[in-house]
Structure 1
Amino acid sequence: MTRTLRRILPQILTLAVLVALVSLFFPQFLSVDYQGGRLSGPVIDVLKRGAPVALLAVGMTLVIATRGIDLSVGTIMAITGATAAWALASGWGAAAAVLLALMAGLACGVWNGCLVALIGIQPIVATLILMTSGRGIAQLITEGRILTFTDPGFAWLGSGILLGLPVPVYIWVGTAIAVALLMRRTALGLLVESIGINRSASALAGINATVLLIAVYVASGLCAALAGIIATADIRGADANNAGLWLELDAILAVVIGGNSLLGGRFSVAASVLGAMIIQTIDTGILLAGFPSEYNLVIKAGLVLMVLLVQSPNLAGHWYALRRHVRRRREPAPSDRSAP
């Protein structure tokens, strides 16, 4: 078993258990149909609907690996979506809309990175600034209304089909693979981890921590821009008030479920996107099981807590210690084992 597989095995098992649990309440959960050149079914819906959180989790993983946090990713989705919709409404075309949206996400990432790396503001405060002001920026772009468009090329990014699968699936899977390969096939992953473990020591070792910190926030901004493009293209409109609302919390939770520490250091992009799929499976499973909508958040919170408890290394350590204690209690006393 490879090291990568061992690293993500708890998340794979957790996802398998969740799928089995949802299938008990909704037996058709694993059914997949192929009609009109496209695959359809609850599993395909999970892969598509989980695209925004998966993309946000990829960028958030890199930020958290440096002992940071990015609370602005949901707002960046709103800004980039508004930018793309404005470009389309102005007649600039799909290619220009995508480019402008990515540039907006890059600018947001540079802003967050400079506040953290150059000015020295704590990441949670630095990104909170953009989180609170960003929706106002998005509303200024959309002039306080929902901008709609009819461009089929841009809409294809959110609701199109390629080789039977939704296009958003290719986007988040491709992004996750590209980032994972870049981090693990080059020295970048090790450098990012070294900053998270000890930034001062890494600087003394000759690592340009300032540039790397800005780079990870730029990566987070670009991932949020891709998520914003998908969300906007899917509904064919930009809603500055609701686009990406509270998704930053799901992204952080996906990283945590993936076993990545909020204290920085070692990280796994694959585990984070599996965490995103776990969250989306919970959301979809609750809806398909027919639970009342007012109970959805409570049930989701309970299931997430159970997942974290099962994956907790402390709980595993306590269980191992308890087994050793019981085994010792069952062993005969030394006097009983002595020869007559």
Structure 2
Amino acid sequence: MSKFIQKITRSQLFLPIVALILVLVFNVIKTPTFFKITIMNGTLYGFIIDIINRASELVILAIGMTVVVASSAGTDISVGAVAAVSAAIICYSLGPSQEAYQVPYLVGISLGLLGGVLCGIWNGFLVAKMKIQPMVATLILYTAGRGIAQLICAGQIIHVEKTDYRLLGSFLPGVPFPTPVFVAILVVFITWAMLRYTALGMYIQAVGINSKAGRLVGINSSMIIFLTYIYCGLCSGISGSIMSSRIAACDANNIGLNYELDAILAVALGGNSLGGGKFSLAGSVIGAITIQALTTSLYAMQVTADQLPIYKAIVVVIIVAIQSSEFKKWFSNLKRKHAIKAEAAS
């Protein structure tokens, strides 16, 4: 039994799951109706549904961030701005008409995703080919991305009046569960299958652990890093399309704002090393849901948007500290000393 418990506690997902459970348990104490789910107009409503729904964009961004961190040992801080660029392209392409889109719906979405991919190509080129430190390389689009989105929108908030544009960010007719959740599940599944059933997952880990050693065994390290940044750009584009669909518009100043920080935190809370190498998609998904659960919880407790970052920072620091290697060493030493004292006393 003790070996089984040790196996569980040593799992990479143990602490992320415990962190999520603690946030949810805290809500049971502070908000008795937190787990209540109701059906209104044929759709599900409740705090839990809202958490899963609102976490969808963050889950998608966290998946892209996970592969980037694993391969390059660096973060892409431009994902929020890239999401805004994709949203701007989509809304500009589809147009404001209530009668019909300027271009077919799928063409507009594809153009937005292509914009995200092009941003990923740019970031990948700077990091993989030009060997610029990832945070510095992606700082360019972090700074300029919203300006690009504003240029596309001519400094205006572009509304898409056609009602079916909202379906991607809300509910499909006759389906009680939010559409973004299905999109997030699809992205997670495709990523998992791609990394599980191809050699790409192994290559990403090998490059992240030691890119020079990877080159010695025939792995094109630069190409692997380049591809992960492209995929991260694609994930940003998907996330931006959902964000835009929720409000049926593109607000370049606010779409994806500060999401890059939450995406990085989701990767860290999921037990992934920010130094590259071994990674866990499931951990990142749990981390993203934990962050959204914390945000929703604080709002439910009447915490204002201005105060939210303070409470969020305190909780995140505690969770990250508990997962750190130094804390684990200190806790192991504490248990060892306690065991020695107990043995001496007996």
* Alignment map for 1:116-135 (pairs within 5 Å): 116-135=127-146
Q: Indicate the RMSD between aligned Cα atoms, in angstroms.
A: 1.9
Could you tell me which of 216, 234, 239 is aligned with 1:227? 239
| Cα contact 1:87–1:93 (8 A) shared by 2 | no
CA distance in 2, matches of 1:13, 1:130: 35
Please list the CA deviations of residues 113-140 of structure 1 after superposition, one character each: whole Å capped at 9, or x if unmatched.
1111112111111111111111111111
**Stretches of structure 2 lacking an aligned partner (at least 5 in a row):** 96-100
**Match in the other structure for 1:266:** 278
Equivalent of 2:334, from 317, 322, 328?
A: 322
Of 82, 88, 91, the residue aligned with 2:88 is: 82
- Counterpart-to-counterpart distance in 2, 1:41 and 1:52: 18
- Per the alignment, residue 204 of structure 2 pairs with 192
2-side partners of 1:231 and 1:293: how far apart?
A: 19
Task: Tell me if 1:249 matches 2:261.
Answer: yes
* Structure 2 partner of 1:146: 157
Aligned to 2:37: 32
The structural deviation recorded for 1:170 is: 0.6
For 2:87, the aligned partner's letter is: G
Distance apart, 1:235 and its partner CA: 0.3
**Compared CA separation, residues 138 and 330, structure 1 to 2 (3 A):** same
Secondary structure of residue in 2 paired with 1:225: helix
Code of the residue aligned with 1:130 in structure 2: it is L
What SS does the aligned partner of 2:13 have? Answer: helix
Which amino acid letter does the alignment assign opposite residue 239 of structure 1? D
Question: Mean alpha-carbon deviation: is it higher for 247-256 or for 84-93?
Answer: 84-93
Q: Percent identity?
A: 37
Give the one of 46, 50, 59 matched to 1:45: 50
Aligned twin of 1:159: 170
Q: Following superposition of structure 1 onto structure 2, how do residues 3-18 of structure 1 map, counting pairs within 5 Å?
A: 6-18=11-23
| Structure 1 residue 232: Cα displacement | 0.3
CA distance in 2, matches of 1:112, 1:292: 35
SS in 2 for 1:120: coil
Q: Give the secondary structure class of the aligned counterpart of 2:307.
A: helix
Query: How far apart, in 2, do the equivalents of 1:160 and 1:85 lie?
Result: 19
Native 8 Å contact 1:88 1:151 kept in 2: no
Deviation at 1:40, TM superposition (A): 0.9
> What is the letter of the counterpart of residue 142 of structure 1?
C
> Alignment length, in residue pairs?
333
Q: Which residue of structure 1 lines up, in the alignment, with residue 78 of structure 2?
A: 72
Q: Which residue of 1 aligns with 2:59?
A: 54
1:99 pairs, out of 73, 85, 110, with 110
Deviates more, 1:204-213 or 1:250-259: 204-213
TM-score normalised by the chain length of structure 1:
0.93
Listed one character per residue, the Cα deviations across residues 21-59 of structure 1 (whole Å, up to 9, x for unaligned) are 012111111111123221111111011111121111000
- Distance, in Å, in 2 between the alignment partners of 1:53 and 1:332 is 51
Indicate the structure (1 or 2) with the bigger Cα radius of gyration.
1
**CA shift for structure 1 position 293:** 4.2
Question: Equivalents in 2 of 1:331, 1:32: separation in Å?
Answer: 51
Amino acid at match of 2:76: D
Residue type at the aligned position of 2:36: S
Higher mean C-alpha displacement, 169-178 vs 78-87: 169-178
Distance 1:332 1:264 in 2: 43
AA of the residue aligned to 1:209: S
Gaps of 5+ in 1: none
Contact 1:55 1:172 in 2 (8 A): yes
CA positional deviation for 1:275: 0.3
Give the AA of the match of 1:135.
R
Deviation at 1:184, TM superposition (A): 1.9
| Amino acid aligned to 1:131 | Y
Post-superposition CA distance 1:247-285 (Å, at most 9, x none): 101000000000101100000111101100000000000
**TM-aligned CA deviation for residue 185 of structure 1:** 2.3
| DSSP-derived class of the 2:19 partner | helix
Instruction: For 2:305 and 2:77, locate their aligned partners in 1 and report how far apart those are by CA, in whole Å.
Output: 26
After TM superposition, give the deviation of residue 292 of structure 1 in Å.
Answer: 4.3
Within 1, Cα distance between the matches of 2:81 and 2:305? 25
